[in-house]
Amino acid sequence: MNPLIAVLVRGVEVANPEAWKTGQITGTILGGFILCLINAAHAYGCPLVIDTAQATEIGGAVITVFNIVMTAATSKHIGIVESPASNSGHQNESDHA
């Protein structure tokens, strides 16, 4: 299994979840700040290539997907459930319950 996908499986988490959570919070704040800057630029008449509706849709989608992936990667309690067919010899902590 691809290591980038493996951390999204329930029962698996990244090695340093605290640092990843800090990155998640920072990324979310920066994403929101960039959206605010785009809206402020439009409010003051600065011409931009993207309008506020497009920026909000794209930014909202990116922030949402980013937060879902980061939350799943930094938690052992949520994530993708492996199918029994793909669980070739690998047992999650949830399998021991």
Q: How does pLDDT run across 24-79, given as a tens digit for each residue?
A: 899 889 988 988 898 899 899 988 888 888 888 888 888 888 888 888 777 777 77
pTM reported for the whole predicted model:
0.62
Q: Partners of 80 in the beta sheet?
A: 9
Q: What residue spans of the chain are helical by DSSP H?
A: 3-6, 17-43, 52-73
Q: Which residue has the tokens 């949830």?
A: 94
- The pLDDT value recorded for residue 97 is 45
Q: Which residue has the tokens 């938690």?
A: 75
3 state DSSP class of 7: coil
Look up residue 34 and give its amino acid: I
- The pLDDT value recorded for residue 19 is 84
Rg for the chain (alpha carbons), in Å?
18
Q: Partners of 9 in the beta sheet?
A: 80
